[in-house]
Amino acid sequence: MMSGGRIQDLSRIGSHLLSRVLASENTNIHGRDWQPHFRSPFSGLVPLSSMTALASCGANKCVFSYGQAVHAVRHLPSILLLTALTLLAACDAAPAAPTATPPPPTAMPVTQNADWTPVEQTVDGVVMVQVPAGCFMMGSDEGRRDERPASEVCFTAPYWIDKTEVTNKQYGSEGAFPGDNQPRGNLLWSEARDFCVSRGGHLPTEAEWEYAGRGPDNLMYPWGNDLVGDFLVFDQNNNNQTAEVGSKPDGASWVGALDMSGNVWEWVSSAYARYPYVATDGREDLADITVERVYRGGVHNYIDFGAGMTVRFKANQETRDWFIGFRCVKDNL
């Protein structure tokens, strides 16, 4: 099968040849009037002295005057006959069928934490972990009033979340606690929001944050349902200061995110509003500067489950706190 470009090349040659052959019926191409003026790329010299248009060929279609074709073929020597037949074959060749683009694969939802193996990828020096599609129960009917009622929230597509809180080094300046790998705290909600946008991402919503910490198993803590002090940095072991990010690997969540519980609280994008969580009810309006914003990931254990995944805290947008940091989310890498 010939390509569209090859057919076009042949049609141009044939159109030029045949337009001149049929221009005059009185030319005797077998006698002394035979005056070749064109060297065919197929075989030798062919006459150019008497042609009219025989065919108009494009990449996908050729239109012929068959009466003219018969007249022309009767007067063509074998050399030109071969050329004409080649042109006919080229124009008869069907164009290649377009290659269909396969649809994107459907994200298979995960129904229990154990079905997922953590996936990491480094993007511009920042390690992110993938959070697969799936559903979970957001909130807790046994929790504080603002954690109730629990409701199912589903994600139909995966997303990526930072493996650790954003560090001083990544942010480009230090918060209250110096050191490259200390979590960057003591910043406004809007500063955290803008930093994530500068990386091509966004602050996680409350739902994105909680799902990355709990998973379909709806765990109270990233590692299970019981508090294990050695798995997090909090008020019982932190000496009133932060630790380097990722210092408690045993406290990893089901997707491999570290320090979801403890070390610092973390700003999320959501405005503080009553449950059930509805992303389209205005709480994810990032331009609203009047509302209080939520922060998650308890550092203190002075309340029941204070370091748990369902506990919510709020602050106005002008708040700076030594122990409030953040991490970022991306929909795609």
Distance CA 74, CA 25 (A): 11
Q: Is residue 195 within a helix (H) or strand (E), and if so which, with residue range?
A: helix 189-198
- 3-state SS, residue 91: helix
Mean pLDDT of the 304-330 span: 94
DSSP-assigned letter for residue 110: B
Domains and CATH numbers, the chain: 4-92 (no CATH), 113-330 (3.90.1580.10)
**Of 102 and 210, the one with more pLDDT:** 210
One-letter amino acid at 317 equals Q
Kind of pairing between the strands at 151-155 and 36-39:
unpaired
Mean pLDDT of the 254-282 span: 97
φ, ψ of residue 36 to 5 degrees: the values are: -70, 135
pLDDT surpassing 70 at residue 103: no
> Rg of the chain over CA atoms, in angstroms?
36
pLDDT surpassing 70 at residue 207: yes
pLDDT tens per residue across span 59-98: 333 333 334 433 433 443 443 333 433 433 444 444 455 5
What's the distance, CA 202 to chain centroid? 15
Task: Using pLDDT thresholds of 50, 70 and 90, give the confidence band for residue 106.
Answer: low
pLDDT tens per residue across span 138-173: 999 999 999 999 999 999 999 999 999 999 999 999
pLDDT of residue 99: 55
- 3-state SS, residue 163: coil
Would the pTM count as exceeding 0.75?
A: no
pLDDT surpassing 80 at residue 16: no
Greatest alpha-carbon span in the chain = 113
